[in-house]
Structure 1
Amino acid sequence: MTSADGIWQQIFSFDNYGELLVLVRNSLIAGAALGLIGGLAGVFVIMRDLPFAVHGISELSFAGASGALLLGTNLVVGSIVGSLLAAAVIALLGTRARDRNSAIGTLMPFGLGLGVLFLALYKGRAANKFGLLTGQIVAVDTPQTAWLLGTSAVVLAALTVMWRPLTFASADPDVAAARGVPVRGLSFAFMIVLGLAIALSVQVVGALLVLALVTTPAAAAARVTASPVLLPLLSVVFAVVSIEGGILLALGSSIPISPYVTTVSFGIYVICRFVGRYRARQWGNRTAVPQPV
């Protein structure tokens, strides 16, 4: 076997695939739930220009999960606590884009440094440390699955309640405020919901690459449609395909799940970008005014 074959076997291996598939049942269930809430939340992340906030919150989520790992408590709870603290700080201090980005830029290194400190103090398995950053496909046990599904239901219910006014406030905040929509309150509420969504996503794809689940699917969907119905639908489909496809591809390999999820997600984005550009050219050709000879 050549070195290239050895590398390929590390990346893709389908030996005993059926037996291994049983081990990731909880991860597949959790992945479907995370794809749903990540795809829906991502629509507003794109509309409100919050990708940087997603990354900032994920750093504090990583710190919370690392602290929980050190203390031997529930990782999901620790991740949620860290995410909610970060989301609340960003929502309170970041009323304008410049202020928000400054607050996020301050929080990110603090959260990452705190997480590294907790991991350095943790004396357990190295795989647990690495998994918080890059994800683990078999890391979701039954109690964590219950936490993930329960919190996903809360996020889904909150998004359902605030969807219409939040869409209005995101598209035109000044007009929405003039119509009596509580723009500031909705903004704070969405940041809290976003914090929960990110905390859940970190459990599967890791803190460093959570953007692939919360931002990229919605960005891809926005390339092919502006429909208020199709946009969230495609975003959810792309997110679910990315995470479930990543889990299934990573199953037989020795590589963390995150490179597979990010590759599938990025591939979908590239395809949607080309489709969007093709449709734009076709639409331009149809609407072009013929010039007189």
Structure 2
Amino acid sequence: MNDILGRLFTLDGTGQYLDLPFVQSALLAAALLGLVAGVLAPLIVARGMAFAVHGTAELAFTGGAAALLLGISVSIGAVAGAVTAGLVFGLLGLRQRERDSVIGVVLAFGLGLGVLMISLYDGRAANKFGLLTGSIVSVDSTNLWVLGLVVAVVLLVLAIVYRPLLFASTDPDVAVARGVPVRLLSPMFAVLIALTTAIAVPIVGAVIVLAVTVIPGAAAARVTANPLAATLLAVAFAEVALLGGTLLSLAPGLPISGYVATIAFLCYLACRLVGRVRGQVRTG
């Protein structure tokens, strides 16, 4: 047991990896992903779209698997699959009571199709495994350009629609009554989630996308109701989880997904504890 723990959490030789170009690219990618995921996370939590993120991640996995099979960039395939999922979820699942069933149907189809395409792929097993658990060596210059472009687009659109989107997320009925275009914002936000999920899959894997797109927002919601403070905290939690997980994974040479998920979960537990202590102080 001690040997296993020692391998999981060793930092010996981590410094020598920091000079490697692929590690620097991975850290830059993690920082960009943490920024956009942290900004979106509080809105995802407010709109109750955690399951949608999971479904979108599975379709991003399907797109990535198709890209492997066709011999094109995994990032481009993941973006195509995730955007398709976002449009489907946004257009067919506008009503809350319809959303889960639509997501479940599309998720099951996409996951089955993705597994089939992965089985047909004859290339390196590491490429298959990386789609599920992430891989820092998959981040190359092409992926960085795609990542940077997607982050810029998502943040630009959010800057334009943030106020009506926040209004529609916190009180949709009143937003409709005030003339906010909720039916337009829902698919638009679904596409923003899709783009973010797509760029996350090659880094942290389809299995653990929730760790960076939902947990930071859920943690921040435990300690503050202020939208700006929640966004800043969510960005901080996402950055700590992604950058910390990347650094911790270097020496043992293991996928970063487990480290990222663990750090994000610890942030959530700490915020729950802070929120409970605050509640006890107020009632006391």
Matched residues in 1 for 2:30 and 2:249: separation?
13
Q: Which residue of 2 aligns with 1:71?
A: 70
Q: Tell me how far apart the structure 2 counterparts of residues 181 and 8 of structure 1 sit (CA, whole Å).
A: 52
* 1:34 correspondence with 2:13: no
The answer to whether the 8 Å contact 1:59/1:111 transfers is yes
Most deviating of 250-259 and 77-86: 250-259
Q: Which amino acid aligns with 1:191?
A: A
* 1:12-91 correspondence runs (5 A): 12-23=9-20, 24-91=23-90
Structure 1 contact 137–251 (Cα < 8 Å) conserved = no
**Contact persistence 2:237–2:267 (CA under 8 A):** yes
* Moved segments of 4+, more than 4 Å: none
Root-mean-square deviation (CA), in Å? 1.1
**Is 1:283 aligned to residue 282 of structure 2?**
yes
Q: Distance in 2 between matches of 1:21 and 1:96?
A: 47
Question: What code does the residue aligned with 1:165 have?
Answer: P
- For structure 2, the residue ranges without an aligned partner over 5 or more in a row are none
Which consecutive unaligned segments of at least 5 residues does structure 1 have? 286-293
Taking the TM superposition and a 5 Å limit, the aligned residue runs for 1:1-293 are 4-23=1-20, 24-285=23-284
Question: CA deviation digits over 1:229-279, x for unaligned, max 9?
Answer: 101010111011110010001111132110000000000000000000000
SS of 2:19's equivalent in the other structure is helix
Contact kept? 1:10, 1:255, Cα under 8 Å: no
Contact 1:11 1:254 in 2 (8 A): no
**1:203 Cα deviation (Å)?**
1.7
Matches of 2:159 and 2:81, distance apart in 1 = 24
For residues 153-211 of structure 1, what are the alpha-carbon distances to aligned partners after superposition, in whole Å with 9 as ceiling and x for unaligned? 11111111111010111111121112111111011111111110111111211001100
Structure 2 distance, partners of 1:269, 1:7, is 25
One-letter amino acid of the counterpart of residue 6, structure 1: D
Q: Across the two proteins, how many residue pairs are aligned to each other?
A: 282
User: Would the aligned equivalents of 2:94 and 2:186 in 1 still touch at CA under 8 Å?
Assistant: no
Tell me the residue number matched to 1:291.
none
Shift of 1:132: 0.4
Question: How far 1:143 sits from its partner (Å)?
Answer: 1.2
Residue 22 of structure 1 aligns to a residue in which SS?
coil
Contact 2:133 2:204 in 1 (8 A): yes
TM-score w.r.t. the length of structure 2 is 0.96
Distance in 2 between residues matched to 1:108 and 1:10, nearest whole Å? 35
TM-score norm. by structure 1 comes to 0.94
Contact 2:224 2:230 in 1 (8 A): yes
Partner SS, residue 208 of structure 1? helix
Moved more, 243-252 or 15-24: 15-24
In 1, Cα distance between equivalents of 2:40 and 2:102: 21
What is the Cα deviation at residue 9 of structure 1?
4.1
